[in-house]
Structure 1
């Protein structure tokens, strides 16, 4: 059941059952190939091949009988993360040919053997969604902030991030950005983000982050080596620069950790929006690659909270919403912004690589 020409097909995110499980894996293969990640594509294709076999023990039986929506649950990346962790931790040397990019033709057999040998370790990786915190996405946020300031919003920003994971983007004030010839951030920062820039440059403005708080239902503590390893396991092995960025983020967190609360997104947002907003600041809700993991009723609540708060926003106390999320119809990540006063519509600023490699600016 190899996938020679996997194609991403628009699928109802809430679909369940064996066909939905198979489609989730095929879509993930297509997505990885399209994103320049052949190793991760090979892992997901090997797992797809195991769906029609009896291999993989209890782990693969649970995958085949997945009760929830496989696509929305990011099922392929849950098990792929566990396998990558085995490799990173040196627990399964037999997987080395895969992760070294040698493209073994018997990858499905290697992975089946590994799953069966490490069943107790891998089973918990299916219990929750992947943690996909990535510093490279901060470049999108920085570009959006420049655009907001150019629109006349105050340049002092109070950030509220939902789905913060380890809070890597909450530390973005410490990063340096080179965005189509526009530079912003401390010159001495170890974290330098220079995505390939496509299109016109963003506005040559500046901003300052005066507050940055976030939430997550299962926050990751980068100061704990075991938790840091788990986060690294969700990095696709092809993108070696992401590991360097993760190391820089771990160093930053050990110096001064980000502020993250263990809360669901709607409760966190309601509490933060209820706080007084200082004059001359822009309060910003931001999130990246997390919207799909938030339950539908909670997403509706977030929209209602923002629209209600937007009605009270003023020229010197505006509210903005910056989103970097996947468009399930176009199979692309889009940077979109909405702000109040005047927040009746969304503005699409860019299309972007999911891990920060490039930004195609539309402005």
Structure 2
């Protein structure tokens, strides 16, 4: 049966903090719907098989831990933790039974196939449940580039100091080295190895230019792209349907080996508060930015960041403005939105676009309805 015909696999907005067996089932069902809506049929089929496995007694200790998950499965991105481990097995060539799955062949008894694999590789898979997935993706930086052009068009200085929370491997912090084609608007060095050209929908962003004069970030578990083991883990979280993402990751690894990004291991709120407590530089737009991170932060930490931004925004000036750029999921519409706030002058959120979560397309509609 095609997943789209199953009512239990439809996306349903829910409380990210919900816990318990039903929350686990809903997390997997939502992940299936989310993957399919974004053209990731292989990953959808894997998550569908895992969902069906929840009601069986199979899958060993890994599935027992998933069924009795102690945290909030939606906020913890539980389905992507185990899916990443299974993809890693395939990438390592350690499990021949997974080869047809990742070749796009739909297994007739996916749950049983996955149960066999999980039971055979329990020691390998268990650690994949210990931490959240890392989904650093250079394609998302196209949205940031478009937002910077929009901010310059609003009169903010075109020199940007980037401060990224949840920076993971720092791939977006290296965007000064990337070349973008944003609906025919080109920005970035012409000779860049990394070239990013999302499918553009709607009018192009304002033409112009910007420069990045500083870039630093934080993450509770930074990834070192120059460490092959850590880079391999990052590859495992790439949905196999998006082959261009593997090429972009390889290009980012080359860039990191040349000049690694500056990433601090610390909580996001600590980083934001400390960053905004420093004296701003005249003629520079200071930016706090993040992509697919906000949902993973505890509520208390989100509140601290919002308070720090409001306080720093009140002190901002035309010569030393502050901007907040976010590419995050709207839980109600099931879409990712590129939104911006800036001080002084644009203190409320403006939605600039909706976008594919991994940068495949951007639908530009500044000020569009939510």
Range class of TM-score, shorter chain: over 0.9
Pair 1:287 & 2:290 matched: yes
1:187 deviates by 1.0
Structure 1 stretches of at least 4 aligned residues deviating more than 6 Å after TM superposition: none
Match of 1:123 among 101, 111, 126: 126
- Number of the residue aligned with 2:85: 82
The answer as to whether partners of 1:2 and 1:45 remain within 8 angstroms in 2 is no
- Number of the residue aligned with 1:271: 274
User: Which stretch shifts more, 98-107 or 176-185?
Assistant: 98-107
Structure 2 residue ranges without an equivalent (≥5)? none
Question: 2:223 & 2:346 partners in 1: Cα distance?
Answer: 33
Question: 1:186 & 1:278 partners in 2: Cα distance?
Answer: 25
Task: State TM-score, norm by structure 2.
Answer: 0.97
* Residues 37-56 of structure 1 mapped to structure 2, 5 A cutoff: 37-56=40-59
Match of 1:348 among 345, 348, 351: 351
Pair 1:175 & 2:185 matched: no
The answer as to whether partners of 1:134 and 1:168 remain within 8 angstroms in 2 is yes
Give the SS at the match of 2:348: coil
Give the SS at the match of 1:344: strand
Question: 1:91 & 1:107 partners in 2: Cα distance?
Answer: 18
The answer as to whether partners of 1:139 and 1:179 remain within 8 angstroms in 2 is yes
Match of 1:361 among 338, 361, 364: 364
Question: 1:343 & 1:182 partners in 2: Cα distance?
Answer: 24
Match of 1:239 among 234, 238, 242: 242
Give the SS at the match of 2:264: strand
Question: 2:276 & 2:14 partners in 1: Cα distance?
Answer: 34
Pair 1:201 & 2:220 matched: no
Structure 1 residue ranges without an equivalent (≥5)? none
- Number of the residue aligned with 1:159: 162
User: Which stretch shifts more, 2-11 or 173-182?
Assistant: 2-11
- Number of the residue aligned with 2:29: 26
- Number of the residue aligned with 1:58: 61
Question: 1:305 & 1:110 partners in 2: Cα distance?
Answer: 49
- Number of the residue aligned with 2:341: 338
Match of 1:97 among 95, 100, 111: 100
1:106 deviates by 2.1
Question: 1:215 & 1:169 partners in 2: Cα distance?
Answer: 12
Task: State TM-score, norm by structure 1.
Answer: 0.99
Question: 1:266 & 1:105 partners in 2: Cα distance?
Answer: 46
CA RMSD in angstroms, aligned pairs only: 1.0
- Number of the residue aligned with 1:257: 260
- Number of the residue aligned with 1:110: 113
Question: 1:141 & 1:117 partners in 2: Cα distance?
Answer: 43
The answer as to whether partners of 1:2 and 1:49 remain within 8 angstroms in 2 is no
Query: Could you list the per-position Cα deviations for residues 288-343 of structure 1 after superposition, in whole angstroms to 9, with x for gaps in the alignment?
Result: 00001111000000000000000000000000000000000000000000000024
The answer as to whether partners of 1:159 and 1:212 remain within 8 angstroms in 2 is yes
The answer as to whether partners of 1:310 and 1:343 remain within 8 angstroms in 2 is no
Question: 1:234 & 1:154 partners in 2: Cα distance?
Answer: 36
Give the SS at the match of 1:237: coil
- Number of the residue aligned with 2:313: 310
1:2 deviates by 8.7
Pair 1:185 & 2:188 matched: yes
